[in-house]
Amino acid sequence: MNLEGKRVLVVGGGLSGRAAASKLLKMKAEVFLTDMQPKAKLTGIEELGLNDSQLILEKEPDLAQVKPELLVLSPGVPPTISFIVEARRRGIPLWGEVELALRDSHALVIGVTGSNGKTTTTTLIGELAKGTGRDTIVAGNIGVALSGQVDYLNNRGIVVAELSSFQLELIDRLRVNIAVMLNITPDHLDRHGTMENYIAAKARILENQTKEDLAVLNWDDDLVKGFVPATKARIIFFSLSSELPTGICLENDTIVLKTLEQTTKIIHRDNLLLKGNHNLQNAMAAIAVALELGMKVNELGTILRDFAPVKHRQEIVGKFQDILFINDSKGTNPDSSIKALQSYQEPIVLIAGGKNKGLDMTEFMIEVREKVKSLILVGEAAQELEEKAKELDVKRIIRANTFEDSVQKAIEEAQSGDVVLLSPACTSWDMFKSYEERGELFSRLVRNHYSEP
């Protein structure tokens, strides 16, 4: 991939855009960067050393003036913006930042996608991959841009990439050597428009695989099973509900590897710090990848037993006055929050709300009705959620004016033996820059209330 001297327009000045621009500059491309934000709000943009003619801010770029030979889009940028549509009409290639980062990589690429569980599974695979002794990078949608991270890796290196539908919809020649498809439930319909478009974006992770590659697919998800014709790769299934003839499944609460010749026990579910059936599936997918990397079963055990939930994904904030506080701020869609609710048997005080992504909240509220003793609603979607909750006969609904107010009301509602769970089923974008910022504030407010560090 020789981009020296090529005019490249990077769209988006956030983390991914800056990483892409930095990589392109090292490749001696002529780089332009555009963003609708002013320069003062783009952290780290000055470090790129771009002059004023290369920065097109607070307005759409004029393609006739820039004359780009390639556009590199950040994941958060929808390809439906008018100048991007025009670029595509003119035949100018559109790449995502992931395509730029990995197009010429010599490393083995492991890609993880799905509607829920991506970050936990990606992180666990990363820990297992490091256990092989090979150089390993964990990046992508997990919060670290891939560009610039992987360039030093040789053909023994491993890239573990969390890949969102936003990142996958613009891949071109990107080949994922081990593709993990966890599940498909409605998400990001505000961006993709239809469920069919969302599914098609997810399926692209399999598009450029060869017979030398591996696809790790969830047998329990009919949509995922439907992707079998989309790949030329070998397939291994994992299942929580079926005893597969071959693959990774559960027997007597123990995760096992089944081949036609034998059944090998790997780990009992009680020995995992990850709780809930959804996390069992995440662990199964990670185990399938680790075995493909050549890890032995006894090597897996230690890492699996010690692996704790990732930050903002059912993260334990603390137990105060016999009340367990759980930060699941990464629960940004209803299916994810349903799984969180199903992980606890104790009475739950739930904080939910934020910005809905055009998703149906019916199934979520049915689960709330069954599992939640007090529902605290906050944010842009609070009214919509309250109407749905009342329609489905949720008994105790409390509205909060601010996020801080929601946490205080949850503390007041909770009693000894309860779980206070932040699992919003919505994005954070109405009140916060990210789900991380939301989760950090929740944790800080709880600890401050109980005067704990």
Q: What is the block-wise mean pLDDT of the chain (453 residues), using blocks of 10 residues? A: 92 92 95 94 90 94 96 89 95 94 93 89 94 92 82 92 89 94 80 83 94 97 92 96 93 93 93 86 96 91 84 84 91 91 90 93 96 97 97 96 97 94 95 94 94 71
Q: Find the DSSP H helices in 259-296.
A: 277-292
pLDDT on residue 318: 85
* Alpha carbon separation from 435 to 258, 308, 441 (Å, rounded): 38, 19, 10
Identify which of 259, 216, 253 has the alpha carbon closest to the alpha carbon of residue 238: 216
Collapsing DSSP to helix, strand or coil, 133 comes out as coil
Helix (H, G, I), strand (E, B) or coil at 285: helix
Residues of each domain in the chain carrying CATH 3.40.1190.10: 102-306
Question: Helices in 134-245 by DSSP H: which ranges?
Answer: 165-168, 189-192, 195-203, 222-225
Model pLDDT, residue 224: 94
* CATH class name, domain 315-449: alpha beta
Measure the CA dihedral 19/20/25/27, to 10°.
Answer: 120
Q: Which CATH superfamily is domain 7-92 in?
A: NAD(P)-binding Rossmann-like Domain (3.40.50.720)
Cβ atoms 90, 63 nearer than 8 A: yes
Distance CA 327, CA 443 (A): 7
Rounded CA gap, 188 and 76, in Å?
Answer: 11
Both structure tokens of 442: 């929740």
Alpha carbon distance 158, 278 (integer Å): 25
Nearest residue to 36 (alpha-carbon basis) of 54, 16, 57, 50 = 57
Query: Using CA atoms in the order 404, 407, 412, 413, what is the torsion angle rounded to 10 degrees?
Result: 140
Q: Residue 267 class from Cβ within 10 Å (0-12 exposed, 13-18 middle, 19+ buried)?
A: middle
Between CA 204 and CA 159 the distance in angstroms is 18
Measured between alpha carbons, how far is 320 from 110 in angstroms, rounded to an integer? 40
Residue 408's CB: how many other CB atoms inside 10 A? 15
Per-residue pLDDT, 297? 87
CATH domain 102-306 topology: UDP-N-acetylmuramoyl-L-alanine:D-glutamate ligase (3.40.1190)
| CA–CA–CA angle 112, 345, 142 (5° rounding) | 20
Q: CATH 3.40.50.720 residue ranges in the chain?
A: 7-92
| pTM of the complete model | 0.75
